[in-house]
Amino acid sequence: MEERKSFQPLNLFEYEQLATKSLSQMALDYYASGAWDEVTLRDNRAAFEKFKLRPRSLVDVSQRNLATEVLAQPLQIPLLIAPMAFQCLANPQGEVATATAAASAGVGMVLSTLSTKSIEEVAAVRHDTNLQTPQWFQLYIHKDRGLTRALVERAYTAGYKALCITVDAPVLGRRERDKRNEFALPPDMQLANLTNLSGLNIPQKQGESGLFTYFAQQLDPAVTWQDLEWLESLCPLPLVVKGILRADDAVRAVESGAKAIVVSNHGGRQLDGAIASIDALAEVVDAVGDRAEVLLDGGIRRGTDILKALALGAKAVLVGRPVLWGLAVAGEAGVAHVIDILRDELDVAMALSGCASLEKIDSSLLFCEKHRSR
């Protein structure tokens, strides 16, 4: 009898289903959860369905080009891996596996401050492969400004190409699944970027994880735009501001030195009830004009989602959770396959929409009952 072929996921949703069998309940809930009732988490996906496509017909799409640049840094497709903490919960190689897959595919990666592989270990992937795909470093402005400065200096020395500053977390959002699970890292897993810094204490409390304790200690609710200007003075790397949902904040970010803005609600993990990222995109694009590049984070699951974001003015998108599902299922190969799926889906969507290149994608492709295109 012929052996049954092993199951190969066809899309990102199937990767998510498989990941539930590969992860512990605590890790799965940490990755998948949103804040409070998870309304914004769900809306990030549902909002894409409001936008319908209006394809152009009889266009020569026999040759298609998906390449672009963000901050003058090359991307083979308009995609970066979003910053996500604790990737070793999904696979022992964690962020190194993700970075290797991203570099090989020609997409960017944003490394989280709370990674389980260090700034230097992940940077070595780019150096070892001799590929020019961008690596950015995600950062919070901590209460301890010395800690903030030290992380910036390490990222600059290691060759990261931008600082991605998360601004939507003056305090930590309440994720009830994590509270219920008393989320904590396994004893053999560390916050790799912080272990060698003196004076950092991340205690464990009964009923409260060290993660929550750390953020309670170091997230600074007093951070203002002036702190962003201070951060911009620390090194010559371009600043990317992540977590903007309003036009006025986007303008202020540019005035404070941002070269790019990521429209994002933190994957629905901070303020529940915040608008979906895609619903804020056109407003931000209009507000900043050509003064900064705009990217979108949140809810991307199909190539058509990327197409819609580009049509609304995004230069590229960031993808988060699906990368973790691929990492959990098959390590580096799983991440690479997730990227391949999105590339192939975007390629087909562009062909069927009459767009041979990214430059041909514009708001005329969209119909929305609420927005009627931008």
DSSP helix, strand, coil percent of the chain (3-state; round to 5): 45, 15, 40
Angle at the Cα of 185 (from 180 to 191), degrees rounded to 5? Answer: 135
The secondary structure of 107-132 as a DSSP string is -EEEE-TT-SS-HHHHHHHHHHHT--
Closest CA relative to residue 321, chosen from 36, 2, 41: 41
371 is known as an active-site residue: no
Please identify which residue in the block is written with the tokens 């219920």.
Answer: 180
**Nearest Cα residue to 321 out of 44, 117, 75, 68:** 44
Sign of CA dihedral 164, 332, 191, 29: positive
3-state SS class at 357: strand
For 61-84, the DSSP string reads: -SS-B--EEETTEEESSSEEEPP-
Look up residue 355 and give its two tokens: 């767009």
In the three-class reduction of DSSP (H, G, I as helix; E, B as strand; rest coil), residue 138 is classed as strand
The angle that helices 321-353 and 303-311 make with each other, rounded to 10 degrees, is 70
Residues 73, 108: Cα–Cα separation, whole Å: 9
AA letter at 298: G
Report the distance separating Cα 301 and Cα 322, nearest Å.
7
- What single-letter DSSP state applies at residue 36? T
What token pair was written down for 16? 């998510």
Cα-Cα end-to-end distance for the chain: 57
Question: Which uninterrupted H or E stretch holds 40?
Answer: helix 39-46
CB count in 10 Å sphere of residue 144? 15
Going by C-beta distance under 8 Å and a sequence separation of 6 or more, which residues neighbour residue 302?
A: 11, 12, 48, 342, 345
Active site residues: 266
